Amino acid sequence: MPKTAVLLIDCPDRRGIVAAIANFLVREYDANILNADQHQDVELGLFFMRVEFSTENTACSEDQFRQVFASLAGEFRMNWRLIFATPPANVAVFVSHYLHCLADLLDRYQIGELNCNLSLIVSNHEGARALAGFHGVPFHYIPATAGNKAATEKQQLNLLAEHQIDLVVLARYMQVLSPSFVSVYPQQIINVHHSFLPAFTGAKPYHAAFARGVKLIGATSHYVTEVLDEGPIIEQDVTRISQNDQLPDLIQKGRDLERLVLSRAVRWHLGHRILSYANKTVIFA
């Protein structure tokens, strides 16, 4: 059976990179290139590329590829990753008491839209237990308070390690992860939140936005870093608000946007379509 893999590359921009990569894959692996996309950052002089290919060469493995690719990678000063299509990633979803994003992810997972193993759901509330049970996903209730934060995160990290989790999705998880937690999963935690124009903070942002009479509301998905809500942005979307929209309409429209931008971010991550650099992201087609 053919193997399918994705090669992600970033390096200084120069002539000949695309040809060199294509020639290498054909020469070494008789590869069939299924998809290729590239991007140049002119200001920083950087080149980014994603190549999806298949090969029937049974010798192709990450270790073997590293050996034969080393010379070319060194010549072009490449940073690179090779990811095989199987096995699929193990995903954990963290959620609090807002369940709309979790419900959307579970539905997409059930119909096969998300190529992963949805291994567990973690929550600091009991409200998601029934939804998790309906979809047959293990549910873990771990209370979180200001006084037990360190113990809570230790329990969570042990659980993630036990299940060999590759990606953590914060589906409206209303707790701030500590820098030590984030450091265990760099570029492997995705969060979603509203992004009002103009911005409103506090416990009830939709109420504040409605009172201000905003004309646009939005949502943002991003990778989590040590700095709260300032990680590399993956996806954003907005919708228009009119004078006919009441507070429940704003909340509904905001939740719809949160569902969309989170599911897109998760799908793109699982498809290895994201490269992060300089606190920005390249999203490959």
Query: Can you tell me the distance from the alpha carbon of 282 to that of 264, in angstroms, rounded to the nearest whole number?
Result: 14
Catalytic residue among 229, 245, 249, 256: 229
Cis peptide before 87 (omega within 30 of 0): yes
Contact between 192 and 171 under an 8 Å Cβ cutoff? The reply is: yes
Sequence length of the chain is 285
229 included as an active-site residue: yes
Query: Can you tell me the distance from the alpha carbon of 121 to that of 172, in angstroms, rounded to the nearest whole number?
Result: 12
Q: 116-123 and 46-55 as β-strands: parallel, antiparallel, unpaired?
A: unpaired
Count Cβ atoms below 10 Å from residue 125 Cβ, excluding itself.
Answer: 15
Contact between 218 and 236 under an 8 Å Cβ cutoff? The reply is: yes
3-state secondary structure 153-208: HHHHHHHHHHCCCCEEEECCCCCCCCHHHHHHCCCCEEEEEECCECCCCCCCHHHH
What token pair was written down for 8?
């992600």
Question: Positive or negative CA dihedral for 241, 242, 244, 246?
Answer: positive
Residues that are catalytic: 229
